[in-house]
């Protein structure tokens, strides 16, 4: 008899991938300016630490919510007691309004259609539990967030079938890639229940275009399946083209209230836009009452604590604060993004043009010894152990083309990012020097071989001439 369950012992959680291994290596030897200056710099963690001062100054100016008070009176007992598991109404209203504000108030969100969850991790898994059975499939464009293997597959038993996107069109979703993924699922005898996209994309740092979103809506309506749009990075869009939510596309196509709209679900969280992953605040937004009802019951497994809801309802209801925060945070992300792109360029490395997120999708194909995932892994190990940077290899994001890496830029100081770029440039210099030496050696040896072969040729020619004589 097995002493543990299959779930506990199987490895479909994907947590042994290089994405998580890199974190473990970082934990063993983390960079610290004074105490460990040669340690590993963490560039594999999509955290936003650029706007903490804005949050801290709001807290300093508004001490009541964080100290369990309202109008000078303690609300400790009220918050300490068991709350309605549907969430504090004031918080749901504030969160719904914040989601609309990020989308330029072009769409609105009904608080009653929101289900609060402990982060987008919980929200994504709960949605899968609501929409699919064990053995069903969801189609996801590659490259995708490595945590999805754990969040969507592990406990639900649902399969992920990749929609293969490539660098030939900047990793955009095409009709043929969607159809091929659908066909592949059918060939594997999997029933497709939906498509899940991340908009803006992790790891690409790009937003979906209107034509991609139109294509997705058309695809799910023709197949009668669901669309989950994970919009956890919606507030990080710092450059044009701006962010377009699938909710706006439904509105533009006059599909609000339709059967199709009922099959479109949005996932959100404050982990990235507000930089609060430790607070565990996420949500599902669905137009389907049944989904909202079931997900609300399931949310008992991952509620947001009442003091967090209380604090954040005050913060998010402060409209002066939210509008300043959103624009200032985007400016800071843009500056940091530009700094990484310039640093990479200086080292002779390019990346996908991006307009959002906390990372760049970096092209190091030219540094691979061969066009294989083994070579990608070799390069990753060199960057991790010799250069001292933890970046995430494309393979961990299920990218089809070896040589792409995700590099995060918002979880460290400017100085640390500078140092990371210096380390990378030094590595590229010595890499190029070695390559040049190697090439020189080859040229010399080829020259020797060719003069030898000339000599052999001449010799045999002379011999033949002598024979002929
Ligand atoms: C696309 C995406 N979805 C979900 C998550 C999980 O977020 P949370 O911290 O809210 O659980 C992440 C975290 O990196 C992510 O990148």
Rounded to whole angstroms, the Cα distance separating 304 from 14 reads 26
Phi-psi region of 209 (alpha: psi -120 to 50; beta: other; left: phi over 0): beta
Distance (Å) from CA 233 to ligand 1 centroid: 9
Angle at 242 between CA 144 and CA 401, to 5 degrees: 25
Q: What is the residue-level pLDDT of the chain in tens, covering all 469 positions?
A: 788 988 888 888 877 888 889 999 999 999 999 999 999 999 999 999 999 999 999 999 999 999 999 999 999 999 998 778 899 999 999 999 999 999 999 999 999 999 999 999 999 999 999 999 999 999 999 999 999 999 999 999 999 999 999 999 999 999 999 999 999 999 999 999 999 999 999 999 999 999 999 999 999 999 999 999 999 999 999 999 999 999 999 999 999 999 999 999 999 999 999 999 999 999 999 999 999 999 999 999 999 999 999 999 999 999 999 999 999 999 999 999 999 999 999 999 999 999 999 999 999 999 999 999 999 999 999 999 999 999 999 999 999 999 999 999 999 999 999 999 999 999 998 888 877 776 777 777 776 655 544 443 333 334 444 444 3
Cβ–ligand 1 distance for 199 under 6 Å, the answer no
- Which residues, in sequence order, are CB contacts of 287 under 8 Å at separation 6+? 113, 256, 257, 261, 262, 264, 265
C-alpha 217, offset from chain centre: 22
Shortest-distance atom of ligand 1 to CA 269: 10
Alpha-carbon distance of 397 to 142, in angstroms, equals 7
> What pLDDT, on a 0 to 100 scale, did the predictor assign at position 447?
65
Is residue 392 within 6 Å of ligand 1 at its C-beta? Answer: no
Q: Is 342 helix (H, G, I), strand (E, B) or coil?
A: helix
Q: Say what the pTM is.
A: 0.91
Task: Reduce the DSSP state of residue 424 to 3 states and report it.
Answer: helix
How many whole angstroms separate alpha carbon 146 and alpha carbon 393? 10
Taking the CA of residue 144 as reference, the ligand 1 atom at the shortest distance is 1
6-52+323-429 folds as 3.90.1150
Q: What does the pLDDT read at residue 353? A: 97
Q: Is 19 in the pocket of ligand 1 (CB under 6 A)?
A: no
How high is the pLDDT of residue 469?
38
Q: Are 181 and 164 in contact (CB under 8 A)?
A: yes
Spatial CA neighbour of 232 closest among 282, 278, 276: 282
Q: Note whether 303 and 326 are within 8 A (CB).
A: no
Q: And the tokens for 398? A: 């299920």
How far apart are the C-alpha atoms of 161 and 192, rounded to whole Å? 9
Query: How close is the Cα of 232 to the center of ligand 1, in Å?
Result: 7
Q: Are 291 and 108 in contact (CB under 8 A)?
A: no
State how far the Cα of 410 lies from the Cα of 45, in Å rounded to an integer: 9
Contact status, residue 246 vs residue 264, Cβ threshold 8 Å:
yes
| Cα dist from 11 to 17, 335, 377, whole Å | 10, 39, 20
Residues 6+ apart with CB under 8 A from 86: 92, 116, 296
Q: Which residues contact 108 (CB under 8 A, 6 or more apart)?
A: 96, 100
Whole-angstrom distance, CA of residue 61 vs CA of residue 286 = 35
Q: Which of 239, 162, 251, 183 is nearest to 213 (CA)?
A: 251
Query: Residue 356: CB within 6 Å of ligand 1?
Result: no
Q: What's the CATH code, domain 62-320?
A: 3.40.640.10
Mutate to test the pocket of ligand 1, among 126, 232, 234, 303 (most ligand atoms within 8 A of CB): 232
Contact in structure between 396 and 18 (CB atoms under 8 Å) = yes
Ligand 1 center–CA 150 separation, angstroms: 11
Beta strands in 364-409 (DSSP E): 389-390, 392-393, 404-408
Name the residue ranges covered by the structural domains of the chain: 6-52+323-429, 62-320
145: left (phi over 0), alpha (psi -120 to 50) or beta: beta
Ligand 1 center to residue 201 CA distance, Å? 11
How would DSSP label each residue in 167-187?
GGGTT---HHHHHHHHHHHHH
Whether the CB of 46 sits within 6 Å of ligand 1 = yes
Q: Report how far residue 149's alpha carbon sits from residue 128's, in angstroms, rounded to the nearest whole number.
A: 12
Other residues' Cβ atoms within 10 Å of the Cβ of residue 189: 8
Cis peptide bond N-terminal to 241, omega within 30: yes
Report residue 442 as tokens.
């080859």
Other C-beta atoms within 10 Å of 19: how many?
Answer: 23
**Quick check: do 6-52+323-429 and 62-320 share a fold?**
no
């Amino acid at each position: 008899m097995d002493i543990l369950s299959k779930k506990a012992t199987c490895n479909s959680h994907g947590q042994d991938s290089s994405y998580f291994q890199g974190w473990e290596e970082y934990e063993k030897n983390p960079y610290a300016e004074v105490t460990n200056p040669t340690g590993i710099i963490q560039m594999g963690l999509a955290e936003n630490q650029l706007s903490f001062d804005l949050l801290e100054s709001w807290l300093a100016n508004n001490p009541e919510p964080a100290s369990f008070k309202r109008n000078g009176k303690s609300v400790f007992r009220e918050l300490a007691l068991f709350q309605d598991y549907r969430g504090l109404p004031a918080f749901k209203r504030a969160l719904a309004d914040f989601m609309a504000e990020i989308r330029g108030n072009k769409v609105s969100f009904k608080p009653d259609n929101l289900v609060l969850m402990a982060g987008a991790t919980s929200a994504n898994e709960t949605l899968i539990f609501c929409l699919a059975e064990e053995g069903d499939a969801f189609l996801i464009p590659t490259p995708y967030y490595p945590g999805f293997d754990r969040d969507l597959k592990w406990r639900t038993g649902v399969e992920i079938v990749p929609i293969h996107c490539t660098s030939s069109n900047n990793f955009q979703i095409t009709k043929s890639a969607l159809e091929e993924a659908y066909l592949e699922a059918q060939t594997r005898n999997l029933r497709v229940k939906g498509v899940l996209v991340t908009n803006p994309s992790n790891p690409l740092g790009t937003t979906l275009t209107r034509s991609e979103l139109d294509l997705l809506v058309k695809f799910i309506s023709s197949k009668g399946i669901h669309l989950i749009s994970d919009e956890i990075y919606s507030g990080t869009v710092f450059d044009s083209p701006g962010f377009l939510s699938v909710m706006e596309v439904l509105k533009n196509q006059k599909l609000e209230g339709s059967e199709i709209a009922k099959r479109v679900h949005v996932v959100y969280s404050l982990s990235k836009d507000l930089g609060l992953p430790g607070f565990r605040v996420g949500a599902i937004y669905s137009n389907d009452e049944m989904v909202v009802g079931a997900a609300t019951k399931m949310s008992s497994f991952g509620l947001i604590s009442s003091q967090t809801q209380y604090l954040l309802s005050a913060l998010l209801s402060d409209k002066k604060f939210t509008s300043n925060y959103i624009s200032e945070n985007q400016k800071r992300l843009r500056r940091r993004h530009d700094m990484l792109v310039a640093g990479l360029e200086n080292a002779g490395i390019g990346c996908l043009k991006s307009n959002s997120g906390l990372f760049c999708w970096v092209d190091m194909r030219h540094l691979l010894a061969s066009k294989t995932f083994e070579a990608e892994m070799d390069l990753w190990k060199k960057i991790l152990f010799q250069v001292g940077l933890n970046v995430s290899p494309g393979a961990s994001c299920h990218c089809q083309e070896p040589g792409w890496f995700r590099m995060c830029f918002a979880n460290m100081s400017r100085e640390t990012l500078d140092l990371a770029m210096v380390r990378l440039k030094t590595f590229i210099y010595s890499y190029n020097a070695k390559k040049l030496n190697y090439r020189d050696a080859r040229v010399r040896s080829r020259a020797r071989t060719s003069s030898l072969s000339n000599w052999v040729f001449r010799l045999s020619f002379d011999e033949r001439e002598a024979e002929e004589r």
